[in-house]
Amino acid sequence: MPFIDYYKVLGVPKNANEQAIKKAYRKLARKYHPDLNPGDQEAEKKFKEINEANEVLSHPENRKKYDEHGKDWQHADAYNQARQQQNQSRSQQQQYSSSNQFNEGDFSDFFESMFGGASRGSRSQAGFRGQDFNAELHLDLKDVYTSHKRTLTVNGKNIRITIPAGIENGQVIKISGHGGPGANNGPKGDLFITFTINNNTKFQRDKANLYKTVDLDLYTALLGGNITVDTFDGKAKLTVKPETQNGTRVKLKGKGFPVYKKADAFGDLFITYDIKTPTNLTEKEKALFIELSKLR
């Protein structure tokens, strides 16, 4: 596999910090995104390279392996394990005859066979599990109100996944077998996706429950009445009791957010009243309030 300079792909120096890498990735990803370049194969190829570079350089452990091993970074764990086996074998040389020693030639055979090279006499070939991949998916809160499918590009490959309704900010899900390839017929690694949920609504979310503050005029608070409030997916009518106090909270059962992986289950919506005092009173209104205050 030809060597790809991931630092050059993202246009950052080798000593770039995590923030600089993330900034460069987002800028290039927007520029070469397939949705903005329909039918442009060169842009699609560039987009895959950008995602592959970000997958490696944004992950501290992957980046360290890449800096040390270059294009063979995915096999770093297998290499280190093989080297540990060699060191253990050397420490036992005094306990075995020369015919049973694990010498440099044996190690070379083992290493070559492990990475697909021709075996020249190694006795066993242990498979090694592939590298796990990590990806970050940014969504708006409205995006996770219903279950839907989405295609991700990870390490140059398109993966179509189902995003369950009700997934939470910071939650991580595992997609088995979509990580790096295993060494010597070992199993593939897994893909771990971390969700970042951007809440740009007027609702506050706590798991499946939603919270919202609604303005209430003084007269409706004192005398009672009916109001209409926005829910997450529509509107609802509420009956306000007479003499409602500021900060009163009411519950709309089942009008909250979907419960993760529980079909047709929803949390509740809690409405808090914020009573607004009238301003710019006329002289007549002031006189009426004065008269009312005397009655109290």
Look up the CATH number of the domain holding residue 25: 1.10.287.110
> Where among 150, 166, 198 does a domain terminate?
198
Which CATH number characterizes residue 262's domain? Answer: 2.60.260.20
For residues 221 and 272, membership in a common domain is answered with: yes
- pLDDT attached to residue 128: 86
For residues 190 and 208, membership in a common domain is answered with: no
* Residue 87 CB neighbour total at 10 angstroms: 11
For residues 190 and 215, membership in a common domain is answered with: no
Q: Report yes or no on 58 lying in a domain.
A: yes
- pLDDT attached to residue 102: 43
- pLDDT attached to residue 65: 83
For residues 1 and 47, membership in a common domain is answered with: yes
For residues 214 and 265, membership in a common domain is answered with: yes
For residues 212 and 263, membership in a common domain is answered with: yes
For residues 185 and 246, membership in a common domain is answered with: no
Strand partners, 157: 154
- pLDDT attached to residue 30: 85
Q: Report yes or no on 169 lying in a domain.
A: yes
Q: Report yes or no on 91 lying in a domain.
A: no
| C-alpha pair distances (Å), 120 with each of 99, 110, 165 | 16, 9, 54
For residues 227 and 166, membership in a common domain is answered with: no
Q: Report yes or no on 157 lying in a domain.
A: yes
Q: Report yes or no on 166 lying in a domain.
A: yes
For residues 162 and 223, membership in a common domain is answered with: no
The answer to whether 47 and 32 are in contact (CB under 8 A) is yes
Digitized pLDDT (tens) for each residue of the chain, 296 residues in all: 567 889 999 999 999 999 999 899 888 988 888 778 888 888 888 888 888 888 889 888 888 888 887 776 776 666 666 666 656 655 555 444 444 444 444 444 444 444 444 444 444 556 788 888 988 999 999 999 999 999 988 878 899 999 999 999 999 999 999 988 888 888 999 999 999 999 999 999 999 999 999 999 999 999 999 999 999 999 999 999 999 999 999 999 999 999 999 989 999 999 999 999 999 999 999 999 999 999 98
Q: Report yes or no on 106 lying in a domain.
A: no
| C-alpha pair distances (Å), 277 with each of 71, 173, 224, 253, 274 | 68, 48, 15, 29, 10
For residues 169 and 188, membership in a common domain is answered with: yes
pTM assigned to the model: 0.60
Give 262-295 as a DSSP string: -TT-B--EEEEEEEEPP-S--HHHHHHHHHHHHH
As for how many domains the chain has, the answer is: 3
- pLDDT attached to residue 118: 43
For residues 14 and 55, membership in a common domain is answered with: yes
Q: Report yes or no on 242 lying in a domain.
A: yes
| Three-class secondary structure of residue 212 per DSSP | strand
Q: Report yes or no on 227 lying in a domain.
A: yes
For residues 152 and 211, membership in a common domain is answered with: no
Residue-number span of the structural domain to which 267 is assigned: 204-276
